[in-house]
Structure 1
Amino acid sequence: MPTDILARPDARSARTTRAAHTTAAQALHRHWLQDLAVLNLRGDPADAGFTGAVAATLGVALPLQACTTTAGTGPFGALRLVWAGPDDWFVLAEPGRAPALEAALRAALAGRHTAVTDVSGGYHVLQLAGAPVREVLAQGCPLDLHPRAFHPGQSAGTIWFKASVWLWRPVDGDAAPLRGPQAPVFELLVRRSFAPYVDLLLQRTTLECGLAGEGPRP
């Protein structure tokens, strides 16, 4: 059975000592966004009336290509839309926008076979930025995150260790509601109940490079 090096005090101490000598520029920066509005939207992407009504309401078009995201600014402020399945999307908006967004979408889609659900209380968004971000994510994620394989604007449902997450790369300069201390490289939609676990694994997997930023609030 392989030995868990993180459980060995001597290895942990040596790694912590090395991390203490890293600079802020070398560290992985994390920023937890725990108050964003998150809606789940279901509908038929082949129905032009559905996609048109969503675009007119939000001011941002739905991503119809599998495993992609779109972002922009509309009547409800900055938004990100994440493809989650053939008829399934996440709509991320600024804090406090969920009730108005839900009401507007329901009104615009009345009479169509759709579903709009406020799931804000069940998810947080985690921003990860910095030179070691791919190496850290690769320790617990089976996806190929090399720039040639995972481009800005792409998204995927995956796992990070034992946590189910949605992962994407923002397009530089997009108008997403996700604003951290520096330009993000990767962002993850994490179930609220898994946030402490994900942050603990971040601490364990960044002992060599260092970790900056605050963890999730209780």
Structure 2
Amino acid sequence: MADRQGRSALERHYERGSFGAAGDDGLALVLSERRGLAMAQVNGAPLEGGPGVMGCVTEGDVSLLWTGPGQWFAVSASLDADALLAKLQERLSSTQATLSDLSHARTVLRVSGAAWRDLLAKGCPADMDAMIPGDCVASLLSHFTVIIHCVSDNSADVYVFRSFGASLWEWLQGGAAEFGYTVE
């Protein structure tokens, strides 16, 4: 049997290089796609020690992002989807939580650089300036339903439904042009 190879929703839209107007300090943004992540939705789990409202907690190689009451989004860069689900099932075996593999269903974009908050604030009603590393918010960005995870003072990951990945990518590029950006 052939190995399954995931294809990026951005495959025909992704062009590396530098674009837009560079300011006095050069290009203010870096846009990139994060590939190969295992992702799962966790519903109805009473997670003690889990993230609080708008929070993220990382335990070993799994990060849990709070997305709503009783809902978390689990992400791992080092586990594959089966290993992530097995790890979550073991941890949640005594609960009635449900798990759904979403590794194939999301495009994850990293926005980094000095102007990342300004770029996302163009289309998101959430207060980007108030976000600190570890915060996450399920919100809208332009007309896309997204999860925004503040990874550091200088970057955020944006999770969007795979079918909207190319459209959001184009929106980000259009919004980033005034700041100048690099695609890595």
| Secondary structure, counterpart of 2:170 in structure 1 | helix
Contact 2:33 2:110 in 1 (8 A): yes
Structure 2 residue runs of 5 or longer lacking an equivalent are 1-18
Tell me what 2:142 maps to. Answer: 161
- Distance in 1, matches of 2:128 and 2:76, equals 26
The code of the aligned residue for 1:37 comes to A
Tell me what 1:125 maps to. Answer: 108
Say what the alpha-carbon RMSD is for the aligned residues. 2.3
Q: 1:171 to 1:203 in 2, by over 3 A?
A: closer
- Distance in 2, matches of 1:41 and 1:117, equals 7
- Distance in 1, matches of 2:156 and 2:121, equals 12
Query: TM (normalized to structure 2)?
Result: 0.79
Number of equivalent positions: 166
Contact 2:57 2:65 in 1 (8 A): yes
**In the alignment, is residue 207 of structure 1 matched against residue 158 of structure 2?**
no
Higher strand share: 2
Contact 2:105 2:162 in 1 (8 A): yes
Structure 1 residue runs of 5 or longer lacking an equivalent are 1-17, 46-50, 53-60, 173-183
Q: Equivalent of 1:62, from 42, 50, 55? A: 50
Tell me what 2:123 maps to. Answer: 140
Higher helix share: 1
Q: Equivalent of 2:67, from 84, 88, 96? A: 84
- Distance in 2, matches of 1:155 and 1:161, equals 17
| Secondary structure, counterpart of 2:107 in structure 1 | strand
Give CA deviations for 1:154-212 in whole Å, capped at 9, x if unaligned. 1111111011100121257xxxxxxxxxxx52111111111101111112112221121
The structure number with the bigger radius of gyration is 1
**In the alignment, is residue 194 of structure 1 matched against residue 164 of structure 2?**
yes
Tell me what 1:55 maps to. Answer: none
Contact 2:21 2:180 in 1 (8 A): yes
Following superposition of structure 1 onto structure 2, how do residues 96-135 of structure 1 map, counting pairs within 5 Å?
97-110=80-93, 112-135=95-118
| Secondary structure, counterpart of 1:100 in structure 2 | helix
Tell me what 1:32 maps to. Answer: 33
Q: 1:113 to 1:209 in 2, by over 3 A?
A: same
Query: TM (normalized to structure 1)?
Result: 0.68
